[in-house]
Chains A and B, each alone.
Chain A
């Protein structure tokens, strides 16, 4: 299956039929490099076959990182983010959780983690594998936060790493770019975090409470999808919305 061209139309039919429900209302089943994945509206990835939950760019302790510079963002981002991860863990009971890099906003983030958050984290890790993939913000995971650290992880046909590589990268699942896509509808422009895939590789949206987005039509995405064709799955309040790249607005 890998690298095989799939017509836009066929993909749409397949996807629309695969509106998943059950524990993940509003999510969508999408195949990437032959693996059947589920994208959730909360911006997480669920791989049922492997009982693996993937979240990217949590940026924990972003609030306190700014506070250290005199910009006092609300000190509730870590709580909010972990609450989101917790809800998914409880709903799905994954065997394995992968945090796809930039889990902490900076290298000291793990050390700054307040005790209650640390406890929450321990609770989430109990009884399952927890993998911290290294990111550019947190190349080394420090500060007694449990789990295993790794540069990247390969499972089946998929490779999980933080920064996507230019050119062909079949089976790569990455984060880093915080993709967000914009659709213009009846004079209004709507922008949401989005999963971006051409069926062979995937860029995940950021999961953290304070993480902004980068437009998928901007330059850093170009080398990842050389023919400019991909699908964006926009994370809405109630469900995901699928659009081919040509239907998106932006430069």
Chain B
């Protein structure tokens, strides 16, 4: 099946073509699209490219010249490779060039990313390479250009790398729409998806082509089973927290014996903390480095290069190193804090030991007692090879709006045809015509009921029934605002120093970028952790935050420590099962088993299908704690809705706190008595109907929704993207999306962009689907335990009560409180006297 040249090349490398590599070749010969599911290290990339290399090496495999309306030109692109990371695109290009050179094939490979020079990009359009390596954003740019038809007419193969990571986000929506267009430009194009193991391969195969004729699925056999363990410290395991500071000595010992270790954490704050703690212990001055998304890109590249050269002992990193490139010879993965999902964990473990025949070695370090159970559940799931990647959700309307404008930039379109094309993209297969038309209307003039922007229309319906761009400058605007990744507004952090007079310098080394909202809450003199140091905030000047080195070891301002991803539904189920089954406690550390045993004694242990609710008085307040194990986001939404309901029942809710595992609410009224005397019932409190009007009313004012709206508004092109470092010049020009949101909601609550926002928030920040499923699950299965004092299980969430900002309290109430404090400070004891007098 393999041409001689290739057989010889495999032999020269001392390799055998793997069965899945040959399977892909076979499917390619039959022009079948294919999804390859393979663990890292299985030669996935080569498998994806092999059919293209073979085809391009065959005589007649390459069309030479083409004569088009625009004149004579070379052939178009043969194979398009799309990766979620530009670094990966560059790296894979290098890897593919190697066999091409060694076999002496006449195949040109080029990359095209945001870093590619304008000159080269222009040239690529006129004289395209055989194989182009790029990112989803660049694909969107390419298909919006007038030359897209020529460029892609000869397209034979599209290879999509790390597909599992792409499809669950808005980037996946944009890519799916782009593929729909490429399929129209090149009807015979073949798609090849490369993916890690996922929960539902059938769905992914449908995404690649269509639900009616999904791609073929090829599964590479897994390598050796990973060698997984829990790192259980002899130190006391904390009740709450995420930082695992207590276990750092053990982590240090573990990485000392490794060749090179990757220390994964869930947040930037954890990365900074872990890095500093490890260096505090690092008496052997081992080369330990730090890697996360906010660090200066140059600094990150340096760390990556040092890894590749084997010059590092360990790298503390966030999800920035989850995907892609093999950086050197990693033989140990340490996961600090809960892994949140079985598949996430499996992918991280795969970063160790990229040889199939040797087991990957990984250690999990739980940061609290609940996390011990979660880590246990995750290890069991990984050993069983269970997957819990989330299902692919319906396509977002804001992304569709961006794409519709892009298609108008490419050339005039007919609504009927574009609608059919859009529906051929998997995430939009159920889109109805009315919504599509509203999106087109939005692109044209904003889609408002009040039609006052007709004269400013970006696209117009021409007499021939096509929609046309009304001015070329809108194409330029589109290109500047392309993409779905909306960064929070960031400021550069610049390390400077004080001169002899104590003045702060104005220039210095750039350490990286931090969210503007965080920096704006700081006052001069506040200290915080960043780039591996404790820094003192001085001032914000233009788009830079000036900082100096602080000499205190512990920062004053703690960074937010919660993770981005909630505990997966599957792991939650397993954690509930461990909790419900005392026989499984034996596999847990003594401290944790004992904790659960006391819980059984003084309160109760719920069955896996039950929801435990406890109430108890404490310090002049009453508390209600429940344990749904559905993740912080769903708990937060539950807390908002429950407190609204309690307020109506005159139970005087004062605030609540949500953790990954539990929800605690404190009240000014005796909820225990209210339940005892039947004035309130738990079934009524937890009734699913809370997802009706209450949800609607709360959403209207929630800041979470405003944040989501901002992202949708930028993606849909309602407001312009702000680039990092861009001058904050025209404050009168900058639009506050919060205000736009308020005005739009009060005048046109049904607007298409508000619909997009709502859909986005319910799937994301509010996790409504999960909450709804939980309420349904526990109906008739709520077990209630009235208590005189706090239970062992309640301790972790109660500790958070004192630590976190009060989620339930409104901004206004807090402002009043701060004002009172200032008045007290200014007037001492006389404050109360004075206040009383004023009344």
- A positions within 8 Å CB-CB of B: 8-9, 12-13, 16-17, 19, 57, 59, 62, 64, 66-68, 70-77, 79-80, 102, 105, 114, 137, 178, 182-192, 209-215, 218-219, 234, 236-238, 241-244, 247, 249-251
- Complex interface: chain A residues within 8 A of B731 (CB): 178, 212-214
Query: What's the Cα separation between A242 and B825 when bound, in Å?
Result: 13
Mark interface residues in B533-544 (1 if CB within 8 Å of A CB, else 0). Answer: 000000111000
Chain A residue numbers with a CB within 8 Å of B519 are 251
Known contacts A70-B458, A70-B474; decide if A215 and B520 are in contact (CB<8 Å): yes
Provide the bound-state CA to CA distance between A102 and B730, in Å.
14
Residue A80 contacts which of B458, B734, B746, B838 (CB distance < 8 angstroms)?
A: B746
Given contacts A13-B834, A212-B736, contact A74 B520 (CB under 8 A): no
Within 8 A of A (CB), among B476-519: 477, 517, 519
Closest to B837 in A: A17
| In contact, A189 and B517 (Cβ under 8 angstroms) | yes
Query: Interface residues of B, CB < 8 Å — how many?
Result: 60
A13 touches B520 (CB 8 A): no
- Check A64–B453 contact: CB distance below 8 A: yes
Closest partner residue, chain A, to B817 (CB atom): A185
Cα–Cα distance between A75 and B545 once the two chains are bound (Å)? 36
Distance between Cα atoms of A19 and B823 in the complex (Å) = 14
Q: Whole-angstrom distance between the alpha carbons of A79 and B517 in the complex?
A: 31
Q: How many A-B residue pairs have CB under 8 A?
A: 162
* A243-B822 contact in complex given A70-B474, A250-B520, C-beta closer than 8 Å: yes
10 A-B pairs (CB sep. < 8 Å): A8-B826, A71-B718, A74-B448, A105-B732, A114-B452, A209-B739, A211-B739, A244-B822, A250-B523, A251-B522
CB pair A71–B720 under 8 Å, yes or no, is yes
Give complex CA distance A212, B524 in Å.
Answer: 24
Please state if B804 and A210 are interface contacts (CB–CB under 8 Å): no
Complex contact A183–B815 (CB within 8 A): yes
Question: Are B520 and A16 neighbours in the complex by a CB distance under 8 Å?
Answer: no
Q: State whether A251 touches B540 (Cβ < 8 A).
A: yes
Is the Cβ of A66 less than 8 Å from the Cβ of B815?
Answer: no
With A68-B456, A76-B450 in contact, is A182–B734 under 8 Å at CB? no
CB-CB nearest in chain B for A189: B521
Partner of A212, one of B473, B523, B734, B812: B734
Contacts of B740 in A (CB 8 A): 73-74, 210
Q: Is B818 an interface residue (CB 8 A)?
A: yes
Closest to A76 in B: B747
The residue of chain B having its C-beta at the shortest distance from the C-beta of A62 within the complex is: B735
Query: A68 contacts which chain B residues (CB < 8 A)?
Result: 456
- For A13, the chain B residues whose CB sits under 8 A away are 827, 834
* Interface of chain B residues 734 through 763 with chain A (CB within 8 A): 734-736, 739-740, 742-744, 746-748, 751
Interface residues of B in 795-839 (CB under 8 A from A): 804-806, 811-812, 814-819, 822-823, 826-827, 834-835, 838
Contact indicator per residue, chain B 117-140, by CB within 8 Å of chain A (1) or not (0): 000000000000000000000000
Question: Quick check: A74 and B748 within 8 Å, CB to CB?
Answer: yes
Q: Hey, which chain A residues are within 8 Å of B446, CB to CB? A: 67, 72-75
Q: In this complex, what residue of A is CB-closest to B825?
A: A247
Q: Chain B interface (Cβ within 8 Å of chain A)? A: 442, 445-448, 450, 452-453, 456, 458, 473-474, 477, 517, 519-524, 539-541, 545, 717-720, 731-732, 734-736, 739-740, 742-744, 746-748, 751, 804-806, 811-812, 814-819, 822-823, 826-827, 834-835, 838
| Alpha-carbon distance A219/B748, docked complex (angstroms) | 38
B450 to chain A, nearest CB (A): 5
State the Cβ distance, A21 to closest chain B Cβ, in Å: 12
Partner of A102, one of B456, B732, B748, B819: B732
Q: Pick the contact of B522 from A241, A243, A249 — CB < 8 Å?
A: A249
Query: Which chain A residue shows the least CB distance to B701?
Result: A237
Determine the chain A residues whose CB is within 8 A of the CB of B736 once the complex forms: 210-213
CB of A251 within 8 A of CB of B539, answer yes
Question: Given A75-B450, A187-B805, A190-B814: A241 and B739 within 8 A (CB)?
Answer: no
Q: Which chain A residues border B474 with CB–CB below 8 Å?
A: 70
B706 → A minimal CB distance (Å): 13
- Chain B residue nearest in CB terms to A75: B452
Instruction: Tell me which residues across on chain B come within 8 A of A189, comparing CB atoms.
Output: 517, 520-521
Please name all residues of chain A whose beta carbon is closer than 8 Å to the beta carbon of B804 when the two chains form the complex.
187
Report the Cα distance A91→B838, complex, angstroms. Answer: 25
In the complex, what residue of chain A is closest to B719 when comparing beta carbons? A71
B447 contacts across to A, CB distance below 8 A: 72
Q: Are A243 and B718 in contact (CB under 8 A)?
A: no
Since A102-B732, A209-B743, A212-B732 are in contact, a sample of 6 more A-B pairs with Cβ atoms closer than 8 Å, ordered by chain A residue number, is: A16-B835, A80-B746, A186-B814, A234-B815, A243-B819, A250-B523
- Nearest B residue to A187, CB-CB: B805
- Inside 8 A of A8's CB, which chain B residues have their CB? 826
Shortest Cβ gap from A247 to chain B (Å): 5
List of B residues within 8 angstroms of A12 by Cβ: 823, 826-827
Are A241 and B819 in contact (CB-based, < 8 A)?
yes
* Shortest distance between the CB of B738 and any CB in chain A (Å): 9
Chain A residues within 8 Å of B732, by CB: 57, 59, 102, 105, 137, 178, 211-212
Residue of A nearest to B471 (CB): A70
